[in-house]
Protein backbone atom coordinates (compact mmCIF):
# COMPACT_ATOMS: atom_id res chain seq x y z
CA UNK A 1 0.00 0.00 0.00
CA UNK A 2 1.19 3.51 -0.73
CA UNK A 3 2.53 5.56 2.10
CA UNK A 4 0.21 8.28 3.24
CA UNK A 5 0.61 10.72 6.05
CA UNK A 6 -2.47 11.42 8.03
CA UNK A 7 -3.28 13.81 10.79
CA UNK A 8 -6.29 14.92 12.77
CA UNK A 9 -7.54 18.46 12.53
CA UNK A 10 -9.92 20.39 14.70
CA UNK A 11 -12.85 21.53 12.55
CA UNK A 12 -13.27 24.59 14.71
CA UNK A 13 -9.79 26.10 14.93
CA UNK A 14 -7.64 23.94 12.64
CA UNK A 15 -5.39 22.59 15.42
CA UNK A 16 -3.36 19.60 14.18
CA UNK A 17 -2.80 16.48 16.26
CA UNK A 18 -1.20 13.12 15.37
CA UNK A 19 -4.09 11.18 16.90
CA UNK A 20 -7.78 11.66 17.56
CA UNK A 21 -8.67 13.80 20.56
CA UNK A 22 -12.02 14.29 22.22
CA UNK A 23 -11.35 17.83 23.31
CA UNK A 24 -9.31 20.33 21.37
CA UNK A 25 -6.43 21.59 23.53
CA UNK A 26 -6.35 24.80 21.53
CA UNK A 27 -9.95 26.03 21.43
CA UNK A 28 -11.51 23.74 24.02
CA UNK A 29 -14.31 22.45 21.74
CA UNK A 30 -15.41 18.84 22.07
CA UNK A 31 -15.67 16.22 19.33
CA UNK A 32 -14.30 18.38 16.54
CA UNK A 33 -11.39 16.22 15.28
CA UNK A 34 -11.51 14.65 11.82
CA UNK A 35 -8.93 12.58 10.02
CA UNK A 36 -7.33 14.01 6.90
CA UNK A 37 -4.62 12.98 4.45
CA UNK A 38 -1.80 15.52 4.50
CA UNK A 39 0.70 13.92 2.12
CA UNK A 40 0.89 10.84 -0.06
CA UNK A 41 3.49 9.31 -2.31
CA UNK A 42 1.55 7.56 -5.03
CA UNK A 43 -1.84 6.30 -4.13
CA UNK A 44 -3.20 3.18 -5.82
CA UNK A 45 -6.01 5.36 -7.10
CA UNK A 46 -3.53 7.40 -9.07
CA UNK A 47 -1.41 4.49 -10.22
CA UNK A 48 -4.44 2.49 -11.30
CA UNK A 49 -5.44 5.32 -13.58
CA UNK A 50 -2.05 5.06 -15.30
CA UNK A 51 0.36 6.88 -13.03
CA UNK A 52 -0.17 10.34 -11.66
CA UNK A 53 -2.87 12.16 -13.59
CA UNK A 54 -1.45 14.51 -16.24
CA UNK A 55 -1.22 18.08 -15.04
CA UNK A 56 -3.30 20.52 -17.04
CA UNK A 57 -1.71 23.67 -18.42
CA UNK A 58 -3.20 27.14 -18.58
CA UNK A 59 -4.40 28.03 -22.06
CA UNK A 60 -5.66 31.17 -23.77
CA UNK A 61 -9.41 31.46 -23.59
CA UNK A 62 -9.57 32.07 -27.34
CA UNK A 63 -7.65 28.85 -27.95
CA UNK A 64 -9.84 26.55 -25.89
CA UNK A 65 -11.53 24.17 -28.26
CA UNK A 66 -15.23 24.85 -28.85
CA UNK A 67 -16.07 21.15 -28.71
CA UNK A 68 -15.26 21.20 -25.01
CA UNK A 69 -18.66 22.77 -24.52
CA UNK A 70 -20.76 20.26 -26.40
CA UNK A 71 -23.49 18.64 -24.37
CA UNK A 72 -24.46 15.01 -24.23
CA UNK A 73 -28.08 14.09 -24.70
CA UNK A 74 -28.93 11.59 -21.97
CA UNK A 75 -32.12 10.52 -23.70
CA UNK A 76 -34.35 11.67 -20.85
CA UNK A 77 -36.04 15.02 -21.52
CA UNK A 78 -36.67 15.90 -17.87
CA UNK A 79 -33.09 15.27 -16.72
CA UNK A 80 -31.60 16.95 -19.77
CA UNK A 81 -33.65 20.06 -19.05
CA UNK A 82 -32.72 20.18 -15.37
CA UNK A 83 -29.05 19.86 -16.36
CA UNK A 84 -29.51 22.92 -18.57
CA UNK A 85 -29.84 21.19 -21.93
CA UNK A 86 -27.86 17.97 -21.59
CA UNK A 87 -24.84 16.69 -19.75
CA UNK A 88 -21.53 18.55 -19.95
CA UNK A 89 -18.63 16.12 -20.42
CA UNK A 90 -16.34 15.94 -17.41
CA UNK A 91 -18.95 17.20 -14.99
CA UNK A 92 -19.46 15.89 -11.49
CA UNK A 93 -23.10 15.76 -10.47
CA UNK A 94 -24.46 15.14 -7.01
CA UNK A 95 -27.92 13.59 -6.84
CA UNK A 96 -29.41 13.82 -3.35
CA UNK A 97 -32.67 12.60 -1.91
CA UNK A 98 -34.30 10.79 0.96
CA UNK A 99 -34.09 7.00 1.16
CA UNK A 100 -36.65 5.24 -1.04
CA UNK A 101 -37.47 8.30 -3.13
CA UNK A 102 -36.09 6.70 -6.30
CA UNK A 103 -32.48 7.85 -6.69
CA UNK A 104 -31.24 4.40 -7.66
CA UNK A 105 -34.15 3.94 -10.05
CA UNK A 106 -33.55 7.29 -11.73
CA UNK A 107 -29.82 6.79 -12.09
CA UNK A 108 -30.15 3.24 -13.39
CA UNK A 109 -32.67 4.55 -15.90
CA UNK A 110 -30.07 7.07 -17.07
CA UNK A 111 -27.58 4.23 -17.46
CA UNK A 112 -30.08 2.07 -19.36
CA UNK A 113 -31.51 4.77 -21.62
CA UNK A 114 -30.95 4.33 -25.37
CA UNK A 115 -28.54 7.25 -25.61
CA UNK A 116 -25.67 5.52 -27.38
CA UNK A 117 -23.37 6.12 -24.42
CA UNK A 118 -21.15 3.68 -22.62
CA UNK A 119 -22.32 3.78 -19.04
CA UNK A 120 -21.02 2.23 -15.83
CA UNK A 121 -23.33 1.88 -12.86
CA UNK A 122 -21.34 1.29 -9.68
CA UNK A 123 -23.38 0.15 -6.73
CA UNK A 124 -22.20 -0.16 -3.17
CA UNK A 125 -25.70 -0.88 -1.96
CA UNK A 126 -27.03 -3.68 -4.12
CA UNK A 127 -25.59 -6.84 -5.63
CA UNK A 128 -25.28 -7.28 -9.39
CA UNK A 129 -28.25 -9.71 -9.32
CA UNK A 130 -30.45 -7.18 -7.56
CA UNK A 131 -29.50 -4.55 -10.11
CA UNK A 132 -30.26 -6.99 -12.92
CA UNK A 133 -33.74 -7.53 -11.49
CA UNK A 134 -34.33 -3.81 -11.36
CA UNK A 135 -32.91 -3.38 -14.87
CA UNK A 136 -35.34 -5.98 -16.23
CA UNK A 137 -38.15 -4.06 -14.62
CA UNK A 138 -37.01 -0.80 -16.16
CA UNK A 139 -36.19 -2.26 -19.56
CA UNK A 140 -32.65 -2.67 -20.88
CA UNK A 141 -32.34 -0.36 -23.84
CA UNK A 142 -28.60 0.24 -23.76
CA UNK A 143 -26.35 -2.72 -24.53
CA UNK A 144 -23.33 -0.66 -23.47
CA UNK A 145 -24.43 -0.39 -19.84
CA UNK A 146 -22.06 -2.07 -17.39
CA UNK A 147 -22.88 -2.87 -13.78
CA UNK A 148 -20.28 -3.13 -11.04
CA UNK A 149 -21.02 -3.91 -7.40
CA UNK A 150 -18.03 -2.60 -5.46
CA UNK A 151 -17.29 -0.32 -2.54
CA UNK A 152 -13.52 0.14 -2.63
CA UNK A 153 -12.64 3.41 -4.38
CA UNK A 154 -9.29 2.15 -5.70
CA UNK A 155 -11.01 -0.74 -7.51
CA UNK A 156 -13.71 1.54 -8.86
CA UNK A 157 -11.19 4.02 -10.27
CA UNK A 158 -9.18 1.15 -11.79
CA UNK A 159 -12.30 -0.18 -13.52
CA UNK A 160 -13.32 3.24 -14.78
CA UNK A 161 -9.84 3.67 -16.22
CA UNK A 162 -10.03 0.25 -17.88
CA UNK A 163 -13.58 0.44 -19.23
CA UNK A 164 -13.44 4.14 -20.20
CA UNK A 165 -17.19 4.77 -19.97
CA UNK A 166 -18.75 8.11 -20.99
CA UNK A 167 -20.92 8.29 -17.91
CA UNK A 168 -20.31 6.78 -14.47
CA UNK A 169 -22.88 6.53 -11.69
CA UNK A 170 -21.71 5.94 -8.12
CA UNK A 171 -24.56 4.76 -5.90
CA UNK A 172 -23.90 5.99 -3.21
CA UNK A 173 -20.97 8.08 -1.99
CA UNK A 174 -21.75 7.03 1.59
CA UNK A 175 -21.00 3.36 0.83
CA UNK A 176 -17.63 3.72 -0.89
CA UNK A 177 -14.32 4.05 0.91
CA UNK A 178 -10.64 4.45 0.22
CA UNK A 179 -8.10 2.24 1.97
CA UNK A 180 -5.94 5.30 2.55
CA UNK A 181 -8.10 6.23 5.50
CA UNK A 182 -8.93 4.15 8.54
CA UNK A 183 -12.28 5.76 9.16
CA UNK A 184 -15.37 3.87 8.11
CA UNK A 185 -17.32 4.43 4.89
CA UNK A 186 -19.73 7.32 5.18
CA UNK A 187 -17.54 9.36 7.51
CA UNK A 188 -16.77 12.94 6.62
CA UNK A 189 -13.15 12.32 5.67
CA UNK A 190 -14.01 9.26 3.55
CA UNK A 191 -16.72 11.10 1.65
CA UNK A 192 -14.49 14.06 1.03
CA UNK A 193 -11.51 12.00 -0.09
CA UNK A 194 -13.60 9.76 -2.39
CA UNK A 195 -15.38 12.73 -3.95
CA UNK A 196 -12.10 14.57 -4.49
CA UNK A 197 -10.60 11.55 -6.27
CA UNK A 198 -13.66 11.20 -8.50
CA UNK A 199 -13.59 14.93 -9.24
CA UNK A 200 -9.96 14.80 -10.32
CA UNK A 201 -10.73 11.83 -12.51
CA UNK A 202 -13.76 13.49 -14.12
CA UNK A 203 -11.90 16.71 -14.88
CA UNK A 204 -8.80 15.13 -16.38
CA UNK A 205 -10.50 12.48 -18.50
CA UNK A 206 -13.76 14.22 -19.46
CA UNK A 207 -15.86 11.44 -17.97
CA UNK A 208 -19.12 12.62 -16.43
CA UNK A 209 -19.78 11.20 -12.98
CA UNK A 210 -23.04 11.13 -11.07
CA UNK A 211 -22.63 10.74 -7.32
CA UNK A 212 -25.64 9.73 -5.29
CA UNK A 213 -25.88 11.10 -1.78
CA UNK A 214 -28.35 10.40 0.97
CA UNK A 215 -30.19 13.14 2.74
CA UNK A 216 -30.30 13.43 6.49
CA UNK A 217 -33.47 14.03 8.49
CA UNK A 218 -33.01 17.79 8.50
CA UNK A 219 -32.89 17.85 4.71
CA UNK A 220 -29.16 18.36 4.11
CA UNK A 221 -27.14 16.05 1.92
CA UNK A 222 -25.40 13.74 4.39
CA UNK A 223 -21.70 14.17 4.71
CA UNK A 224 -19.87 17.42 4.54
CA UNK A 225 -21.28 20.53 2.97
CA UNK A 226 -18.02 20.54 1.03
CA UNK A 227 -19.51 17.96 -1.31
CA UNK A 228 -21.92 20.59 -2.59
CA UNK A 229 -19.03 22.98 -3.16
CA UNK A 230 -16.78 20.70 -5.14
CA UNK A 231 -19.35 19.27 -7.55
CA UNK A 232 -20.54 21.13 -10.64
CA UNK A 233 -24.22 20.36 -10.31
CA UNK A 234 -26.37 19.53 -7.28
CA UNK A 235 -29.71 17.91 -8.01
CA UNK A 236 -32.26 17.11 -5.37
CA UNK A 237 -34.87 14.45 -5.84
CA UNK A 238 -37.89 15.11 -3.70
CA UNK A 239 -41.52 14.27 -3.21
CA UNK A 240 -43.78 12.44 -0.88
CA UNK A 241 -42.91 8.74 -0.97
CA UNK A 242 -46.63 7.93 -0.45
CA UNK A 243 -47.39 9.81 -3.62
CA UNK A 244 -46.37 8.84 -7.15
CA UNK A 245 -45.01 12.23 -8.18
CA UNK A 246 -41.38 13.22 -7.80
CA UNK A 247 -39.58 16.46 -8.52
CA UNK A 248 -35.98 16.72 -9.60
CA UNK A 249 -34.75 20.14 -8.65
CA UNK A 250 -31.51 21.84 -9.66
CA UNK A 251 -30.00 23.52 -6.60
CA UNK A 252 -26.68 24.42 -8.12
CA UNK A 253 -25.58 24.30 -11.74
CA UNK A 254 -22.32 25.63 -13.08
CA UNK A 255 -23.53 25.07 -16.65
CA UNK A 256 -27.09 26.32 -16.63
CA UNK A 257 -29.98 27.85 -14.77
CA UNK A 258 -30.75 26.59 -11.30
CA UNK A 259 -34.24 26.18 -9.92
CA UNK A 260 -35.08 24.21 -13.01
CA UNK A 261 -37.40 21.33 -12.23
CA UNK A 262 -38.19 17.99 -13.76
CA UNK A 263 -41.39 16.18 -12.84
CA UNK A 264 -41.66 12.40 -12.76
CA UNK A 265 -44.27 9.82 -12.04
CA UNK A 266 -43.16 6.59 -10.32
CA UNK A 267 -44.75 3.69 -12.17
CA UNK A 268 -44.29 -0.08 -12.00
CA UNK A 269 -41.65 0.10 -14.69
CA UNK A 270 -39.73 3.05 -13.40
CA UNK A 271 -39.97 6.81 -13.53
CA UNK A 272 -41.78 8.46 -16.40
CA UNK A 273 -41.32 12.14 -17.18
CA UNK A 274 -44.46 14.25 -16.87
CA UNK A 275 -44.58 16.64 -19.85
CA UNK A 276 -47.48 18.65 -18.59
CA UNK A 277 -47.37 19.00 -14.79
CA UNK A 278 -50.41 21.29 -14.67
CA UNK A 279 -52.64 18.44 -15.72
CA UNK A 280 -51.74 16.30 -12.73
CA UNK A 281 -51.81 19.20 -10.27
CA UNK A 282 -55.33 20.34 -11.08
CA UNK A 283 -58.39 18.32 -10.15
CA UNK A 284 -61.61 18.66 -12.06
CA UNK A 285 -64.43 18.73 -9.53
CA UNK A 286 -68.05 17.92 -10.34
CA UNK A 287 -69.25 20.94 -8.41
CA UNK A 288 -67.30 23.94 -7.09
CA UNK A 289 -65.88 23.53 -3.56
CA UNK A 290 -64.81 26.21 -1.13
CA UNK A 291 -61.24 26.48 0.10
CA UNK A 292 -59.67 25.63 -3.26
CA UNK A 293 -57.71 28.09 -5.36
CA UNK A 294 -55.39 27.69 -8.32
CA UNK A 295 -52.02 29.40 -8.45
CA UNK A 296 -49.90 29.95 -11.55
CA UNK A 297 -46.34 29.09 -10.61
CA UNK A 298 -43.06 29.24 -12.45
CA UNK A 299 -40.23 27.11 -11.18
CA UNK A 300 -37.40 27.08 -13.67
CA UNK A 301 -38.27 27.78 -17.28
CA UNK A 302 -41.56 25.97 -17.21
CA UNK A 303 -44.68 27.54 -15.75
CA UNK A 304 -47.35 25.29 -14.29
CA UNK A 305 -50.63 25.62 -12.46
CA UNK A 306 -51.11 24.09 -9.05
CA UNK A 307 -54.07 23.68 -6.77
CA UNK A 308 -53.97 25.00 -3.19
CA UNK A 309 -56.40 23.77 -0.57
CA UNK A 310 -57.08 25.57 2.69
CA UNK A 311 -59.37 24.77 5.56
CA UNK A 312 -60.15 27.51 8.05
CA UNK A 313 -62.33 26.13 10.82
CA UNK A 314 -63.30 27.40 14.28
CA UNK A 315 -60.41 26.97 16.72
CA UNK A 316 -61.28 24.57 19.51
CA UNK A 317 -58.51 25.80 21.81
CA UNK A 318 -57.16 29.20 22.75
CA UNK A 319 -54.18 29.05 20.42
CA UNK A 320 -55.25 28.25 16.87
CA UNK A 321 -53.50 25.43 15.03
CA UNK A 322 -51.67 26.18 11.81
CA UNK A 323 -50.37 23.40 9.60
CA UNK A 324 -49.00 23.64 6.07
CA UNK A 325 -47.99 20.77 3.79
CA UNK A 326 -45.64 21.70 0.99
CA UNK A 327 -45.49 25.37 2.03
CA UNK A 328 -43.39 27.25 4.56
CA UNK A 329 -45.41 27.51 7.79
CA UNK A 330 -43.82 30.82 8.73
CA UNK A 331 -44.81 32.33 5.41
CA UNK A 332 -48.35 31.01 5.88
CA UNK A 333 -48.52 32.64 9.33
CA UNK A 334 -47.31 35.90 7.84
CA UNK A 335 -49.99 35.74 5.13
CA UNK A 336 -52.69 34.97 7.71
CA UNK A 337 -51.64 38.00 9.75
CA UNK A 338 -51.87 40.16 6.63
CA UNK A 339 -55.32 38.72 5.84
CA UNK A 340 -56.46 39.53 9.37
CA UNK A 341 -55.18 43.08 9.27
CA UNK A 342 -55.92 44.04 5.66
CA UNK A 343 -59.12 42.15 4.83
CA UNK A 344 -60.37 42.17 8.40
CA UNK A 345 -61.08 38.42 8.68
CA UNK A 346 -60.94 37.08 12.25
CA UNK A 347 -58.15 34.57 11.62
CA UNK A 348 -57.21 34.41 15.33
CA UNK A 349 -60.37 32.36 15.89
CA UNK A 350 -59.52 29.87 13.17
CA UNK A 351 -57.44 26.74 12.85
CA UNK A 352 -55.88 26.84 9.39
CA UNK A 353 -54.65 23.87 7.37
CA UNK A 354 -52.98 24.32 4.02
CA UNK A 355 -52.12 21.74 1.42
CA UNK A 356 -50.59 21.72 -2.06
CA UNK A 357 -51.70 19.14 -4.63
CA UNK A 358 -49.56 16.12 -5.47
CA UNK A 359 -47.36 16.38 -2.35
CA UNK A 360 -45.45 19.21 -4.07
CA UNK A 361 -43.17 21.42 -2.03
CA UNK A 362 -43.31 24.96 -3.31
CA UNK A 363 -41.11 27.94 -2.51
CA UNK A 364 -42.44 30.33 -5.14
CA UNK A 365 -43.52 33.69 -3.63
CA UNK A 366 -45.78 34.11 -6.67
CA UNK A 367 -48.12 31.58 -5.05
CA UNK A 368 -48.89 33.86 -2.08
CA UNK A 369 -51.99 35.22 -3.73
CA UNK A 370 -53.35 31.72 -4.38
CA UNK A 371 -52.75 30.79 -0.72
CA UNK A 372 -54.63 33.88 0.43
CA UNK A 373 -57.42 33.11 -2.06
CA UNK A 374 -57.83 29.57 -0.73
CA UNK A 375 -57.93 30.86 2.87
CA UNK A 376 -60.48 33.57 2.02
CA UNK A 377 -62.64 31.08 0.12
CA UNK A 378 -62.62 28.65 3.02
CA UNK A 379 -63.29 31.41 5.54
CA UNK A 380 -66.42 32.56 3.71
CA UNK A 381 -67.21 28.96 2.74
CA UNK A 382 -67.71 30.19 -0.78
CA UNK A 383 -66.12 28.61 -3.84
CA UNK A 384 -63.88 30.72 -6.03
CA UNK A 385 -65.63 31.46 -9.36
CA UNK A 386 -64.99 28.90 -12.04
CA UNK A 387 -61.95 29.35 -14.25
CA UNK A 388 -60.15 31.83 -11.97
CA UNK A 389 -56.51 31.58 -10.97
CA UNK A 390 -53.96 33.85 -9.28
CA UNK A 391 -50.31 34.86 -9.55
CA UNK A 392 -48.77 37.41 -7.24
CA UNK A 393 -46.63 38.00 -4.20
CA UNK A 394 -48.16 39.51 -1.07
CA UNK A 395 -46.27 42.04 1.02
CA UNK A 396 -46.65 42.89 4.70
CA UNK A 397 -48.90 45.89 4.01
CA UNK A 398 -51.19 43.72 1.94
CA UNK A 399 -49.85 45.08 -1.34
CA UNK A 400 -49.84 42.65 -4.25
CA UNK A 401 -46.49 42.59 -6.03
CA UNK A 402 -45.83 41.15 -9.46
CA UNK A 403 -44.76 37.52 -9.49
CA UNK A 404 -41.50 36.89 -11.32
CA UNK A 405 -42.10 36.11 -15.00
CA UNK A 406 -45.75 36.94 -14.78
CA UNK A 407 -46.28 36.85 -18.55
CA UNK A 408 -45.38 33.19 -18.75
CA UNK A 409 -47.74 32.38 -15.93
CA UNK A 410 -50.56 34.20 -17.69
CA UNK A 411 -49.85 32.36 -20.95
CA UNK A 412 -49.88 28.98 -19.19
CA UNK A 413 -53.22 29.81 -17.53
CA UNK A 414 -54.64 30.85 -20.90
CA UNK A 415 -53.33 27.67 -22.51
CA UNK A 416 -55.09 25.56 -19.89
CA UNK A 417 -58.39 27.30 -20.53
CA UNK A 418 -58.63 29.58 -17.49
CA UNK A 419 -61.00 32.48 -17.99
CA UNK A 420 -59.53 34.97 -15.57
CA UNK A 421 -56.21 35.50 -13.80
CA UNK A 422 -55.76 37.84 -10.85
CA UNK A 423 -52.34 39.49 -10.87
CA UNK A 424 -50.59 42.51 -9.42
CA UNK A 425 -51.65 45.89 -10.76
CA UNK A 426 -47.98 46.80 -10.89
CA UNK A 427 -47.04 44.56 -13.80
CA UNK A 428 -45.67 46.40 -16.77
CA UNK A 429 -48.38 48.09 -18.80
CA UNK A 430 -46.92 46.80 -22.04
CA UNK A 431 -46.87 43.19 -20.83
CA UNK A 432 -48.18 40.71 -23.37
CA UNK A 433 -51.80 39.72 -22.75
CA UNK A 434 -52.69 36.47 -24.48
CA UNK A 435 -56.14 36.22 -26.03
CA UNK A 436 -58.97 34.39 -24.31
CA UNK A 437 -58.06 35.26 -20.73
CA UNK A 438 -59.14 38.25 -18.72
CA UNK A 439 -56.31 39.75 -16.66
CA UNK A 440 -57.62 41.30 -13.44
CA UNK A 441 -55.06 43.58 -11.82
CA UNK A 442 -55.32 44.29 -8.08
CA UNK A 443 -53.01 46.45 -5.98
CA UNK A 444 -53.95 45.27 -2.52
CA UNK A 445 -55.41 42.07 -1.10
CA UNK A 446 -58.56 43.82 0.15
CA UNK A 447 -59.59 43.85 -3.53
CA UNK A 448 -59.09 40.08 -3.74
CA UNK A 449 -62.49 38.78 -2.45
CA UNK A 450 -64.38 40.79 -5.08
CA UNK A 451 -62.11 39.55 -7.85
CA UNK A 452 -62.42 35.96 -6.65
CA UNK A 453 -66.19 35.78 -6.34
CA UNK A 454 -67.34 38.00 -9.21
CA UNK A 455 -69.25 36.12 -11.85
Which partner in ligand TYD, Mg ion, none is near 70 (CB below 5 to 8 A by kind)? none
**One of 266, 335, 369, 388 touching ligand TYD (CB under 6 A):** 266
Q: Which stretch binds ligand TYD (CB under 6 A): 4-12, 87-95, 222-230, 262-270?
A: 262-270
3-state secondary structure 438-452: EEEEECEHHHHHHHH
Of 296, 280, 285, which Cα lies nearest the Cα of 245? 280
**One of 270, 291, 295, 383 touching ligand TYD (CB under 6 A):** 270
105 lies in the site for ligand TYD, by CB under 6 A: yes
Which partner in Mg ion, ligand TYD, none is near 269 (CB below 5 to 8 A by kind)? ligand TYD
- Cα–Cα distance for residue pair 79/86, rounded to 1 Å: 8
103 lies in the site for ligand TYD, by CB under 6 A: yes
CB of 108 to ligand TYD, least distance (A): 8
Identity of the residue, 248 or 372, whose beta carbon is nearer to ligand TYD in the bound complex = 248
Cβ–Cβ < 8 Å for 443, 425: yes
CB of 137 to ligand TYD, least distance (A): 5
**One of 104, 189, 207, 378 touching Mg ion (CB under 5 A):** 104
Identity of the residue, 172 or 205, whose beta carbon is nearer to Mg ion in the bound complex = 172
249 lies in the site for ligand TYD, by CB under 6 A: no
Q: In what order do the strands lie in the sheet with 33-40?
A: 16-17, 4-10, 33-40
Q: How far is CA 232 from the centre of its chain?
A: 14
Binding residues for ligand TYD, rule CB under 6 A, total: 14
- Cα–Cα distance for residue pair 5/178, rounded to 1 Å: 14
Q: What beta strand segments (E) does 114-244 contain?
A: 119-123, 145-149, 167-171, 208-214, 233-238
**One of 18, 58, 100, 318 touching ligand TYD (CB under 6 A):** 100
Identity of the residue, 263 or 384, whose beta carbon is nearer to ligand TYD in the bound complex = 263
Cβ–Cβ < 8 Å for 421, 437: yes
CB of 358 to Mg ion, least distance (A): 23
Helices vs strands, H then E, count in the chain: 12, 21
205 lies in the site for ligand TYD, by CB under 6 A: no
Cβ–Cβ < 8 Å for 454, 432: no
The site string for ligand TYD over 366-405 (x = CB under 6 A, - otherwise) reads ----------------------------------------
Identity of the residue, 270 or 358, whose beta carbon is nearer to ligand TYD in the bound complex = 270
278 lies in the site for Mg ion, by CB under 5 A: no
217 lies in the site for ligand TYD, by CB under 6 A: no
175 lies in the site for Mg ion, by CB under 5 A: no
CB of 103 to ligand TYD, least distance (A): 3
SS3 (DSSP) at 414 = helix
The site string for ligand TYD over 125-144 (x = CB under 6 A, - otherwise) reads ---------x--x-------
- Cα–Cα distance for residue pair 160/216, rounded to 1 Å: 29
Q: How far is CA 313 from the centre of its chain?
A: 34
207 lies in the site for Mg ion, by CB under 5 A: no
- Cα–Cα distance for residue pair 375/378, rounded to 1 Å: 5
123 lies in the site for Mg ion, by CB under 5 A: no
- Cα–Cα distance for residue pair 153/197, rounded to 1 Å: 9
174 lies in the site for ligand TYD, by CB under 6 A: no
> Positive or negative CA dihedral for 210, 211, 214, 216?
negative
Cβ–Cβ < 8 Å for 201, 165: no
CB of 171 to Mg ion, least distance (A): 6
CB of 74 to Mg ion, least distance (A): 19
Cβ–Cβ < 8 Å for 307, 284: no
Q: Which stretch binds ligand TYD (CB under 6 A): 13-21, 157-165, 268-276, 420-428?
A: 268-276
Task: Sort strands 245-253 and 233-238 into parallel, antiparallel or unpaired.
Answer: antiparallel
Binding residues for Mg ion, rule: CB under 5 A, are: 104
- Which residues here bind ligand TYD, judged by CB under 6 A? 97, 99-105, 134, 137, 266, 268-270
Amino acid sequence: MAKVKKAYFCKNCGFEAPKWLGKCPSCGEWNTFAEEIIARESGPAASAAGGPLPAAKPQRVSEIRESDHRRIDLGNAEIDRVLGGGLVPGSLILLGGEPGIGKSTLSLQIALAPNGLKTLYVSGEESAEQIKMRALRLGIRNEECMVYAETLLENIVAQIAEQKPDVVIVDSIQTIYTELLDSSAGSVSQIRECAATLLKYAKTTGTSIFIIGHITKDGAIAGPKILEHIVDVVLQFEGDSNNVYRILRGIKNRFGATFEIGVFEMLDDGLRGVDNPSEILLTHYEEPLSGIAVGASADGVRPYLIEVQALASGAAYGTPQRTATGFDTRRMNMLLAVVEKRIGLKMFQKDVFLNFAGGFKVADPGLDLAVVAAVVSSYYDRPVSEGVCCAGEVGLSGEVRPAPRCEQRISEAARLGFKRIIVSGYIAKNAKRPKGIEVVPINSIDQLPRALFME
